[in-house]
Amino acid sequence: MLYANPHAVRAPYPAELQDIMSIARAQESRDCLAHWNGLTPGSTPLRTLPDLAASLGVRSVLVKDEALRSSLGSFKALGAPIALVRLLLRKFVGRGFTARTLLGGEHREALDGFTAISATDGNHGRALAAAAQRIGCRCVIVLHANVSDERERAIAAYGAEIVRIAGTYDASVEEAAALAARHGWYVVSDTSYHGYEVIPRDVMQGYGTIAAEVDEVFSGNGAHTEDVCPVTHVFLQGGVGGLAAGVASYLWERWGARRPTFVVVEPVQADCLYQSAIAGRAASASGLVDSLMAGLACGETSPLAWRFLQPSIDAFMTVTDAQAVEAMQRLARGSGNDVPFVAGESGVAGLAGLMQAAATPAMASAIGLTADSRVLLVSTEGATAPSVYAELVGEPAASVTARQQAWLAR
């Protein structure tokens, strides 16, 4: 399904939004994260897939491959660490803490008694646990019933204490807030709620790194002039809205009224952003929120993210789990001109949306998708649940990577 957003505008980036998230603040986050050895040095690949573009009837398809952002295997490595660092800098004013010394583990003794807590579907909690382990503070992660044992083990490997609850992701968010209030712990969440916006803002600012790196590639290779945006369409994953807000806000500020068309894609059973667009306010999902796309199985829209999405996202789409699997298999398979690579079930939502739109004339028309379109996608994760990936794609991630190496060596 596709809903064209009547509230989307083509105008300069509003000053009231720039006060919250901006290109300058995204750069501050990048500078801070440069001190964390948990990130892979340099930018993640921006992959060009000409055969895929031809099959979809568009001019070009570019995919930003966030699976290689760090050993954590997802873009979440850009959000939780910066939010934790900034929280500690605010909490321990006057103690001489800096991003460098915190991420260097130099204040472990001073942080005795400090506990960070968060709910997660997997990737955010893993990133927070890794950052907390490096910094030297305690970390508690709340997992809901649908988070796999495999994802739990990956989080626990970084020293986090696990709390299991029944129910959905949104129930785990409530439990994390309750535990924090009861024990004096600090919530480091990627979703906002009433009275809680500073840390989700920091998380979203970290995600701006993705857009900054894309812009640097285009600026470096002369792919655009200042009058023409190098991409016409950007398809972004849904979830609570943080990634979409972080990337769209950066590109909106960068290109103003000449910004690309933004399309947000989420699972049909976890459609909180789609429902928010229809309602004209932050709203809840209409389904059971039990998607195979675990990282997007969110039932409640982040109100802070919605402040950015309502005026900037041109259309909201939903896709099925089967469509996500098809997209995973297409990227893993590669082709003569398309490098094969690993993209997880949540990471391919944008491609699943693009494939659906390209095959549906009414959808393509609604978003202006044509033979001249230049599309940007963000593959937000790799095989963060290796057994799930192998089952869905029909081969393990290592096999896909080996085929990729052979392709690159041709």
Mean pLDDT of 241-250: 97
Query: So what's the pLDDT on residue 225?
Result: 57
Which residues, in sequence order, are bridge partners of residue 210? none
Query: So what's the pLDDT on residue 124?
Result: 93
Q: What is the mean pLDDT of the chain?
A: 95
Close Cβ partners of 164 (under 8 Å, ≥ 6 residues apart):
142, 143, 145, 152
In the predicted structure, residue 332 carries a pLDDT above the cut 60? yes
| Residue located via tokens 């789609």 | 274
Q: What is the largest CA-CA distance in the chain?
A: 61
In the predicted structure, residue 223 carries a pLDDT above the cut 70? no
Mean pLDDT of 386-404: 97
Helical segments of 222-269, H only: 242-255
In the predicted structure, residue 220 carries a pLDDT above the cut 90? no
Stronger pLDDT, 318 or 222, i.e. the higher one: 318
- The CATH fold assigned to 2-74+206-408 is Rossmann fold (3.40.50)
pLDDT tens digits along 269-286? 999 999 999 999 999 999
Closest CA to 302 of 186, 185, 184, 173: 173
In the predicted structure, residue 100 carries a pLDDT above the cut 80? yes
Query: So what's the pLDDT on residue 218?
Result: 92
Query: So what's the pLDDT on residue 170?
Result: 86
Q: Between β-strands 233-237 and 186-187, what pairing exists: parallel, antiparallel or unpaired?
A: unpaired
Q: Could you count the other beta carbons within 10 Å of the beta carbon of residue 156?
A: 16
Q: Predicted confidence band at 132 (pLDDT cuts at 50, 70, 90)?
A: very high
Query: So what's the pLDDT on residue 122?
Result: 86
Stronger pLDDT, 316 or 290, i.e. the higher one: 316
Query: So what's the pLDDT on residue 345?
Result: 96
Same CATH topology for 2-74+206-408 and 80-187: the answer is: yes
Statement: the pTM of the whole predicted model exceeds 0.85: yes
Q: Predicted confidence band at 228 (pLDDT cuts at 50, 70, 90)?
A: confident
pLDDT tens digits along 29-70? 999 999 999 999 999 999 999 999 999 999 999 999 999 999
For 86, 255, 274, the CA distances from 368, given in Å and listed in that order, are: 40, 18, 19
Query: So what's the pLDDT on residue 221?
Result: 66
Contact 170, 120 (CB under 8 A): no
In the CATH scheme, what is the code of domain 80-187? 3.40.50.1100
Mean pLDDT of 340-368: 98
Q: Where are the domains of the chain?
A: 2-74+206-408, 80-187
Residue 118: enclosing H or E segment and its boundaries?
Answer: strand 115-120
Q: Predicted confidence band at 145 (pLDDT cuts at 50, 70, 90)?
A: confident
Query: So what's the pLDDT on residue 287?
Result: 85
Query: So what's the pLDDT on residue 182?
Result: 97
Q: Predicted confidence band at 188 (pLDDT cuts at 50, 70, 90)?
A: very high
Residue 184 zone, left/alpha/beta (φ > 0; ψ -120 to 50; rest):
left
Active site members: 76, 121
